Amino acid sequence: MSIRKSIILASLAGAIALPAMATSGTTVVGGEGGVQFHAMPSTVTRAQVQKELAEWRKNPVTADGYRDVGGEAGFRMEQHRYDFRNGKFVHADSLPHNMPKPNLAMTAEERAQWEATNRAGG
């Protein structure tokens, strides 16, 4: 087979294969294929969301301990900080040290205690 026939067959195969691989039936939003928006029902009012946002802006720490520092740095891990005073290490941060870690297996009582402490800025 000559080189010319090989080139013609390769281009013909490419012309047939490309439309076959195209996706159909998807909504293109913002240049991303397959992204579709759906209404998400919620029981939280707009006022409650704005209140939560205002509280978070006072102390921008996520539930997993990262602080929003803004700019290119983005989020930074909030670590425990200790100072050496009178020959002992003492906690010098505002993180709660006697709270259980948040998880899905918490009892309602533990979750209420954890949420109350985090709301207080602890």
Instruction: Supply the pTM of this predicted model.
Output: 0.35
Span 44-58, pLDDT tens digits: 899 999 999 998 888
pLDDT tens sequence for the chain (122 residues): 688 888 888 887 777 776 666 655 555 555 566 677 788 888 889 999 999 999 888 888 777 778 888 888 888 877 777 788 898 888 777 666 666 666 777 788 877 877 777 665 54
Token look-up 């000559």 returns 2
**CB-CB neighbours of 20 under 10 Å:** 6
